[in-house]
Amino acid sequence: MSKTYRVVAWSTGNVGRHAIAGIDARPDLELVGLWVSNPDKVGQDAGRLAGLDRDLGVAATNDVDQLLALKPDVVVHTAMADHRLFEAMGDMSRILEAGINVVSSGPVFLQYPYGVVDESMYAGIVDAATKGGVSLFVNGVDPGFANDALPLVLTGVSERIEEVRVSEVLNYATYNQGMVIYDIMGFGRSMDEVPMILQPGVMTMAWGSVVRQLAAGLDVELDSVDEWYERVPAHMDFEIDCGPIEKGTVGALHFELRGMRNGRAVIVLEHVTRLHDDLAPEWPQPAGQGCYRVQITGEPNYTLDMQLMGTDGDHNTGGLKATAMRLVNAIPAVVEARPGLITALDLPPVTGKGLVV
């Protein structure tokens, strides 16, 4: 008989509500608590907050002590961390020190921080996990499954590898997160502005974990990880879910993190992000409405496209669900793993066990 894991969900945002639905879908998981930051959500049922149109019998709270007292096996932490790194890590450290495992969607550099950020950035949270005798796993779809487990599996049928390229090729017009779209990525802003994501070193902090983990998985010693980007302006005024994009402001972004060895790129993380399908037609185009792509150049050459589509017809919904379910489905493996920081290189194959209907 399968063990049942008691779970607390931490947030009900873009990823969190899908995590709640995913927890409810697995027969080996039991939702026992829900943390929310918005006081207006306190007391509301988790099922309603997740958009399930039914009660799950778990009321939301902002009382951390109350949730820790439940002594769950794991917390699924999906609170926004990009703009509040230390606050998010403080929350997770407190959970870990209480002897509770954590699977989290951020901060994303914790996917594989080694050689990406200074050890002082993650030593404290790793110590918290070790002292608590529990595990921490930070992942998602990107950074995450689409550019760690997926490409590494594909390399297993290679004879020779010259370059591994992992790409996200998506239209973000329906991604309704204004802070990410406008403030972090700089869409809808002047072409003369350098947004947060393009400040020197930020791109490496966000996705350097991808390049470094692939290098580790392939036993490749890199000489450097280099940043590169280009942008194009919007060709007309148009609306996205977040609001307006004016003609002449940033409408599409293409960037790469290049893992260099002996003067050439051997591992590349690439993002091609448009707000309108007509922009930058010369850039890589998606399979379907949007995809994560793995390209291995060598013998033989491989191209693998993972297309995303929610049942609501939106590829961004597919991406959010993939992020949530990467965490939720990994819970049994993470809870049973050694204490400390766990990466994709440490996990056994994670499957959708129990999800066939």
What pLDDT, in 10s, does the model give residues 252-276?
999 999 999 999 999 999 999 999 9
Q: Does 83 have pLDDT greater than 80?
A: no
Map the chain to HEC letters.
CCCCEEEEEECCCCCHHHHHHHHHHCCCEEEEEEECCCHHHCCCEHHHHCCCCCCCCCEEECCHHHHHCCCCCEEEECCCCCCCHHHHHHHHHHHHHCCCEEEECCCHHHHCCCCCCCHHHCHHHHHHHHHHCCEEEECCECCEHHHCHHHHHHHCCCCEEEEEEEEEEEECCCCCCHHHHHHHCCCCCCCCCCCHHHCCCHHHHHHHHHHHHHHHHCCCCCCEEEEEEEEEECCCCEEECCEEECCCCEEEEEEEEEEEECCEEEEEEEEEEECCCCCCCCCCCCCCCCEEEEEEEEECCEEEEEECCCCCCCHHHHHHHHHHHHHHHCHHHHHCCCCEEECCCCCCCCCCCCCCC
Instruction: Check whether the bond before 195 is cis (ω within 30° of 0).
Output: no
What's the rounded mean pLDDT across residues 308-337? 94
Q: What is the pLDDT of residue 210?
A: 97
* All domains of the chain in start order, with CATH: 5-139+330-342 (3.40.50.720), 145-311 (3.30.360)
What pLDDT, in 10s, does the model give residues 185-210?
999 999 999 999 999 999 999 999 99
The pLDDT confidence band at residue 176, using thresholds 50, 70 and 90, is confident
What's the rounded mean pLDDT across residues 218-230? 98
What's the rounded mean pLDDT across residues 230-252? 97
Q: What is the rounded CA–CA span in Å between residue 302 and residue 155?
A: 9
Q: Does 1 have pLDDT greater than 60?
A: no
Q: What is the pLDDT of residue 42?
A: 97
Structure tokens at 314: 């939106």
Q: What is the rounded CA–CA span in Å between residue 66 and residue 71?
A: 10
Q: What is the rounded CA–CA span in Å between residue 47 and residue 53?
A: 7
What pLDDT, in 10s, does the model give residues 46-63?
999 999 989 999 999 999
Placement of tokens 């230390």 in the chain: 86
The pLDDT confidence band at residue 352, using thresholds 50, 70 and 90, is very high
Q: What is the rounded CA–CA span in Å between residue 180 and residue 168?
A: 16
Lowest mean pLDDT among 80-84, 113-117, 177-181, 292-296: 80-84
Q: What is the pLDDT of residue 177?
A: 87
Instruction: Tell me the β-bridge partners of 252.
Output: 232, 274
What's the rounded mean pLDDT across residues 325-335? 98
CA 197 to chain centre: 15
